[in-house]
Amino acid sequence: MSLRHALLPLMVAAVLPLAASAAPHGLQPRELATLDRFSSPTLTPDGRTLVFARRVVDFDANKASTALWAQDASSPSAKARRLTPEGWNVNSPEVSHDGKRVYFLSSKGGSSQLYSVPLAGGAPAQVTALPLDVGNYAVSPDGERVVVSMEAFPECAGDLACNAKHGQRTDLKKTSGVVFDRLFIRHWDAWNEGKLNRLFVVDLPGAGKTAATARLVGGNVVGDAPSRPFGDASEFGWSPDSKSILFSARDANREEPWSTNFDLYLVPADGSADARNLTADNKAWDTGGVFSPDGRTLYYRAMKRPGFEADRFALMAMDLASGEKREIDPKWDRSADGITLSDDGRTIYTTAEDMGQHPLWAVDIASGGVTRLIGDGTVSSFDIENGVLAFSRNSLKSGDQLFAGGLNGKPVRALSPGAAELLKDVRFGDYEQFSFKGWNNDTVHGYVVKPWNYEKGKRYPVAFLVHGGPQGSFGNGWSYRWNPQTYAGQGYAVVMIDFHGSTGYGQAFTDAISQHWGDRPLEDLQKGWAAALKQYPFLDGDKACALGASYGGYMVYWMAGNWNQPWKCLVDHDGVFDARMMGYSTEELWFSEWENGGTPWANPKAYEKFNPINHVENWRVPMLVIHSQQDFRIPVEQGIAAFTALQRKGIESKFLYFPDENHWVLKPQNSVLWHDTVNGWLKQHIGQ
């Protein structure tokens, strides 16, 4: 079940040339990999102009590039105009406080530096010429300075020349060995080189000049700001008077790999004093701080349980003079993704998952009351200026599309094309949410997607997708890696279940999977499969394959030994095969230790209770195993071991190996190879 806003006609001629006509067909892997992507909606202070990023793919070159565009946010007939030149690859737009320039990052000159371009049009100007790459930035409210994050060696403190020289030493060494004395030795897909993300303040130069110096702030905090591997500029920012900087960080010590204790720090922007910890009393995660307009109150997000990365993020308010804190939304059983304040400081705008959707919400700060503003699909990012809302939203039928409107009764209108306009000959499968009684007689939800060429009365083979996380969701959203439309495009129906452990259904529902990886979610999957077959007669239950990645891959291995009857084939991407070894080899130890109730040596029975490796004797179904060398979250040996078991048992199997990908397959041509291999495996076993 889904609702749709009525959208005004879309003018996209300036953005995208019309594609050559072709016969109607379902979504194909190459079309998914090369689809233009729209992101980063950023409004000028008056709310009249929208700046956004458009990413295009050069498939033959196996790379993508991103440019900035601008468009009148008030007119559905306005044409977008390009801001950054051809040949530039840019990211992270931010409009200046006077609305005249747009800042962005680019490596056009050989390293990532800050640039700006006139909003009215013109050539970009380089703003920084620092000896280190700029990772993230935020311009001060007075427009005179910018805080940037750069990777630096703690032993060099704020000496940029030392950092640049120290970073070159590895190239001069004749030995390749590295000695570590603590974890992390590697994280996500990168080995630890001894550097931390640190914050530096740069004085913005005059016209025609570049800034080559910066001063370290918060040097007494030895930790990554922003965090690794996915932290961004939302983890730091300026006070309204431009005198202080707030940031979130976790101590980079021996306990870091099993700690989720991020704290908020306040530091003078001139570097005159050490950073002060504002949330030392909370040993769980504190992040995303935003000041009230008068600078007296700090709003931020906080978890309550140390060591649990999927705890609920509550919205908090702190009186900076007294240090008193209160939870704004204690009755709202959802986890806020971020904080954007209204101009009057009375409302927090945030996104949060909800029942298979990812809406935009307004939270009244005084009462904690919550109002859904944009309800259907997945709101991935948004900006609000001068009473104007701009946002990007995707769904099971489209990647991110840019919209304006939705506040104060204003109609929602599209400002960029959706997938149907970008791919005019593609027909997408219709989808519907359904529910059933799962574990503990709780209501559990799922989605069914019809094949692109669905005809009433026919039956279709099924791709049964199991999401990862496990605290995640296969809801009404678009993915460039696990997209049900790619299976619908091959003529398959798709079934997806948000089993216990999924997000968006309340924290108790999310918590239910911890220390229960193999029983409660499996029961939901089994009952969900039965409910889908009963409710949707076009599903051919005799021709079905199950597929999953990460935790979903774990579940595929678990199903291979504990529920293999319905499946003609299995596909496992980067899954956990040996839970015990996962507890010793994954980099973020807090995850496996929370999910198993302790370390492998302190609680070994928990690691073995739902360990797929203990049930290999029951494996019989043909399986495709996929794993990547740079996956440090679930190391490649897990996939190799599973493939070894399959081969040794004589079970039909294949192993797809990527030496240059991490937990995700990101390169365009690798993505197509991934999909072609998976689709070929399904076709071999269930037809179409």
- The DSSP-derived string for 560-611 is HHHS-TT-SEEEEES--S-HHHHHHH-S-HHHHHHHTTS-TTTSHHHHHHT-
118: left (phi over 0), alpha (psi -120 to 50) or beta: beta
3-state secondary structure of 526: helix
Gap between the Cα atoms of 133 and 148, Å rounded: 10
550 belongs to the catalytic site: yes
159 belongs to the catalytic site: no
Q: Which residue has the tokens 């101009």?
A: 343
How far CA 486 is from CA of 30, 358, 538, in Å, comes to 10, 21, 18
Gap between the Cα atoms of 210 and 95, Å rounded: 19
How far CA 326 is from CA of 18, 298, 363, 557, 662, in Å, comes to 53, 11, 15, 44, 40
The values of phi and psi at residue 121, to 5°, are 115, 150
Gap between the Cα atoms of 688 and 462, Å rounded: 11
631 belongs to the catalytic site: yes
Closest CA to 412 of 63, 10, 2, 36: 10
Annotated active-site residue in 358, 500, 573, 663: 663
Q: Which residue has the tokens 């740069």?
A: 202
Describe the crossing of helices 520-535 and 551-562 by its angle, rounded to 10 degrees.
80
Residue 398 is encoded by which pair of tokens? 């489209």
What is the 8-class DSSP label of residue 358? Answer: B
Annotated active-site residue in 36, 524, 631, 671: 631
- The DSSP-derived string for 631-683 is --SS-THHHHHHHHHHHHHT--EEEEEETT--SS--SHHHHHHHHHHHHHHHH
Beta-carbon contacts of 575 under 8 Å, excluding residues fewer than 6 positions away, are 548, 549, 550, 551, 552, 553, 554, 555, 556, 557, 634, 638, 639, 642
Query: Is residue 256 within 8 Å of 250, Cβ to Cβ?
Result: yes
3-state secondary structure of 258: helix
Query: Is residue 138 within 8 Å of 236, Cβ to Cβ?
Result: yes
Cross-strand pairs, 653: 623
| E runs forming strands in 365-501 | 370-374, 378-385, 388-395, 398-404, 413-414, 431-437, 443-449, 460-466, 493-498
Query: Is residue 312 within 8 Å of 333, Cβ to Cβ?
Result: yes
- Show the CA angle centred on residue 257, arms to residues 256 and 262, nearest 5°: 45
Catalytic positions are: 550, 631, 663
